[in-house]
Every structure is written in structure tokens, then in C-alpha cells.
Amino acid sequence: MSGGAGFSVRLLGEEDAADFLALRKNALETFPAAFSAAPEDDFLQSEPDVRALFRRREDGVVFGGFADRLKGGVGLFRDKKLKTRHKVHVWTMFVERDARGSGMGRALLEAAIGHAGGMDGVTDIHLGVSDLAPAARALYESVGFVTWGVEPRALKIQGPTVSIRQMVLPVQRTGQG
């Protein structure tokens, strides 16, 4: 999959486990207000955890943005319950500071949206964005996400609380389904 000038975007696989784990830990430590997980309680604590996640393709995928190395990522997972399997969720959207402004974030998000469009029965993509991440919110709105609600005081980070804006995007079909 291509990206913009100077970067590429592709689906991550087990061989990317170490690099993705390092990227995710960096994201959780550098921008704690953007993620509900903390480094101490993240569900991805080791390379075997990441490899296991990457093997479960029916549950979701993770795309990576590469410049000289992995500098960004976005995940997509599908609800498992029968009544909510029409929804997928964006998670772990992150681009390192030195790659921001390059178009990598948009390319990652578009890869996830395109993938969701090819998933049988999926009608909506959901995500949550911190009120402390206005650039991320602007990116989401620029591709069509709309806010459907706000969870006040969703995260508590060493005292202060942060609200999370819940957003949705209807899926445009890219394949059969």
C-alpha cells in the first residue's frame, strides 16, 4: 500500500511485533491524555502479546506508517456480539512527532476506513478522541467523522480529568457485502 511522499502504509504482521510494541509504548508514555490505557495496564505488554493480536485477523487489523522505520499506526477491531458486529472501532491511532504534517496520519486513517469498507456487514466506524487532541479531532472530522456524544471526565490522569468525544463514520462499501 502506498502512502505520501517519503512514507508508506501497510498492514502490520508478526514480524513487526517489536517495532509496534515500541511505538505503542512511546504513544502511551508521550501522550497519556490520548489513550485510555496506561503503559502499566496496557493489554499489549510483550512481543508475544502483539504477535497473538496480529494473528487474529478476523477480529481486527493494525496498519503501520513507515518512513525510515515504523513511525505511526492505527488499529481497527470489530465488535464480537451478534447485535453489534456491524460496528468497528479505531484504536491506537498515533503518529510520532517528527512524522506529523506529512500526511501519514490521514493515510493510516484512510487505510483503516478502506479496510472497514471491505468487511462484510460493517456499517459504522467508531472512535473516541480526547478533548486535549484537537489536531486528531480535526483529522477525523476532515474525513467525515461526526460527534455523537461526549463522555465527561472519561480519563483521570494524575488528578485532572479529560473528556472523550465519541465519533462515528458511516462505512462506504468498497467490496461485496
pLDDT digits (tens, 9 = 90+) for 72-91: 999 999 998 999 999 999 99
Q: Within a domain: residue 94?
A: yes
pLDDT digits (tens, 9 = 90+) for 116-128: 999 999 999 999 9
Q: Within a domain: residue 175?
A: no
Q: Within a domain: residue 3?
A: no
Q: Which cell numbers hold the place of 136? A: 486528531
Comparing 136 with 58, the larger pLDDT belongs to 136
pLDDT of residue 177: 43
* Contact (CB, 8 A) for 75 and 59: no
What lies within 8 Å, CB to CB, of 26 at 6+ separation is: 96
Q: Which element (helix H / strand E) includes 134?
A: helix 134-142
Q: Within a domain: residue 147?
A: yes
Q: Within a domain: residue 80?
A: yes
pLDDT digits (tens, 9 = 90+) for 97-116: 999 999 999 999 999 999 99
Predicted model pTM: 0.90
Q: Within a domain: residue 152?
A: yes
Q: Within a domain: residue 17?
A: yes
The CATH number of the domain where 59 resides is what? 3.40.630.30
Q: How many domains does the chain have?
A: 1
pLDDT of residue 1: 60
pLDDT digits (tens, 9 = 90+) for 38-52: 777 768 878 888 888
Q: Within a domain: residue 50?
A: yes
Please state the rounded mean pLDDT for residues 141-154. 96
Domain range for 97 is 8-170
pLDDT of residue 156: 86
Q: Is residue 67's pLDDT more than 70?
A: yes
Q: How far apart are CA 72 and CA 16, in angstroms?
A: 12
Confidence band of 58 (pLDDT split at 50, 70, 90): confident
**Cα dist from 134 to 15, 57, 98, 138, 140, whole Å:** 33, 31, 18, 6, 10
